[in-house]
Structure 1
Amino acid sequence: MAAAAPRIHERIGLLRLDGRTAEVAEARAAVLRLRLPPGQRSFTADAAANLPRADADPERTPFAVVRRGVPVGFGIIDRRVAPRIATGDPAGSVMLRAFYVAPEWQGQGIGRTACGALGPLVRAIAPDVGEVLVAVAESNRAALRAYRAGGFTPTDRRLLPPDAAPQLVLRRPVA
């Protein structure tokens, strides 16, 4: 009898991109090649725009979403949380920013699985925080589904940025 195929969550990892190893250098180069499709560019910018900003800010830690050793997505853990977004003490929260999975990998549960795997990454970056927050455009239904499936729940916060679509703030406890 053939062995069952491994479930996708067994093949997804999160790799910090602030290290100086050969693995990190290769992953950084790979995420810089990942592009968003035009329909998603209104929600975030790709790693080519966000990685240099994260590198320049000591409060931000970039990471790659890795599937079987291949970077397929990108995100940033930001230790600064604005009080208007925080669901409790801002010092007890981090923000997930610039998070996306490359279009050729979307629809396979990778985003959901990566969201579910945030705990160890966040603990390594900010050991004392209790939650991860994300602000997501209300019109970005695919992202809302992925975040909800990855353990994020709605808060009572809603952002109305002057230069972007209305956003819902979701939270996920750090396990």
Structure 2
Amino acid sequence: MTPNEENEIIERVLNGDRDAYAFLVDAYQSAIFNLVFRMTGSYQDADDLAQETFFRAYRNLGQFCPGKRFFTWLYTIALNLIRNHLKKQGRRMFRESQDFIKHRDGVVSETARRDPERIERNGIQTQKIDHLQICLQKLPADLREAVILRFYQDLSFVEIAAVSDASVSAVKMRVYRGIEKLKQLMGEDKM
């Protein structure tokens, strides 16, 4: 969605067309859910925090500055909710990785019924993805956030800086340190 489209929809909502907000939710729902899931490791938390993100954005839409990107503002709301949630919860070590593995196992078992050879071919890849998810949850929150925004959400360094309220150079350093730490964790936690 272009910034002009976002601003048109926001203007419609602010002028009383509440149903227009659904277009913004549809456009960013998946990205926000994925961000929250990658940061928390929990489908339940991802559902709750994604919903809260859109609720708060809607409630505070009058404070949105036209000319800015809505998705940047929305990501900022989501990241603040995630940070507060993680502080309240303490740093949970991917207990929720079981959510990820259960979901993946459901997909895998369905695929196995249709194509057993495919499971054999993809088994090692699946283990590596699971291992990466677990190691990702072991990163400090600021590094995890930077890595997720860069590689899972595909944001530029400038966009990450905007949503993280950090300089571009600080973001680049966090991404670099996150990758290095992730490599270290992946090596230490051999499958």
State whether TM-score is above 0.5. no
Q: Which of the pair is proportionally richer in strand? A: 1
TM-score with structure 1 setting the length: 0.29
Which of 1 and 2 has greater Rg?
Answer: 2
Q: Which of the pair is proportionally richer in helix? A: 2
Q: Larger relative contact order (C-alpha < 8 A, sep ≥ 6)?
A: 2
